[in-house]
Amino acid sequence: MAWLWWVGAALVLGILEMLSLTLVLIMFAGGALAGAIASLLGAPVWGQVLAAAVVSALLLATLRPWLLRHLRRRVPLQETNAAALVGRPAVVVSAVDAASGRVKLEGEVWSARTESGVVLPAGAPVTVTRIDGATAVVVPLDAPAAR
């Protein structure tokens, strides 16, 4: 009856994978199925656990990277949070220099600074080159933005 526990674990891990979408838990589910097969073949508990661990590790090391590569070819990676703001235009709200300033970015006011030390006056259009903590690092809009 131990094989039923392994199959149950595989089902639970498969359901949790549908919620997380990380392609990690499904690899553990594959390992649990290997543990179920080992149990059906009469392996002792330590053999079942070893089979589950080895198969999980092999799936994580080989199948997951391959699946991620092919998935990213079909579905482009969508940047979110601060990473999605890089390359976006903004408007200087209060003068920005190498130490401080404020910009309006995507409808919100952010603290900002420049790396070049140039002073950007209020109202100047800028482009975000990167986000450093809670500070937008900006360059004048006509300057090339690093993406």
Residues of the chain with pLDDT > 90: what percent?
Answer: 59
Using one digit for the tens of pLDDT, what is the confidence trace for 51-89? 999 999 999 999 999 998 888 787 666 655 677 778 889
Cα 16–chain centre separation: 18
- Please name each of the domains of the chain with its CATH number: 2-74 (no CATH), 81-140 (2.40.50.140)
Res 78: pLDDT: 62
Q: Give the whole-angstrom CA distance, residue 58 versus residue 52.
A: 10
Q: Give the whole-angstrom CA distance, residue 93 versus residue 17.
A: 45
The pTM score is 0.55
Token match 């976006």: residue?
88
Res 143: pLDDT: 59
Q: Which of 27-31, 32-36, 43-47, 138-142 has the lowest mean pLDDT?
A: 138-142
Phi/psi at 77 (5° precision): -70, 125
Look at residues 139, 135, 136, 103 and name the one whose alpha carbon lies nearest to residue 118.
139
Q: Which residue has the higher pLDDT, 16 or 118?
A: 16
Q: Are strands 108-113 and 102-105 parallel, antiparallel or unpaired?
A: antiparallel
The helix/strand/coil state of 76 is coil
- Rounded to an integer, the average pLDDT of 92-115 is 90
